[in-house]
């Protein structure tokens, strides 16, 4: 879904592109907050590459999940992730 969001963002105007990219970034960060089992360990590098692509298109440092700005995720989303974890 986030790959589709990234591809769709690149076809949008600047304002909409930024919104799509923020949404993709936030979703990827929440996924990293939600999952920590062995299955996620296998998939995490693939999602981190996607997050770096999103970050590059946002013109922010490509930190991936390292030093990511988890505060950028809305408080409601972060609280939802904590409840499910």
Q: What is the pLDDT of residue 72?
A: 56
Higher pLDDT, 36 or 82: 36
Q: What is the pLDDT of residues 41-52, one digit of tens each?
A: 899 999 999 999
Q: Residues near 47 by Cβ (< 8 Å), separated by ≥ 6? A: 2, 28, 31, 32
| DSSP summary character for residue 74 | -
Q: How far apart are CA 85 and CA 50, in angstroms?
A: 23
Query: pTM, whole model, 2 decimals?
Result: 0.73
Q: Where are the domains of the chain?
A: 2-84
The pLDDT tens digits for 29-40 are 998 989 888 889
Q: Who wins on pLDDT, 5 or 53?
A: 53
């Amino acid at each position: 879904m986030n790959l589709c969001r990234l591809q769709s963002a690149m076809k949008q105007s600047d304002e909409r592109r930024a919104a799509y990219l923020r949404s993709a970034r936030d979703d990827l960060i929440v996924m990293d907050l939600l999952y920590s089992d062995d299955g996620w360990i296998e998939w995490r590098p693939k999602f981190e590459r996607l997050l770096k692509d999103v970050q590059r298109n946002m013109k922010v440092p490509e930190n991936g999940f390292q030093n990511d700005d988890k505060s950028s995720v809305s408080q409601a989303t972060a609280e939802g992730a904590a409840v499910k974890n």
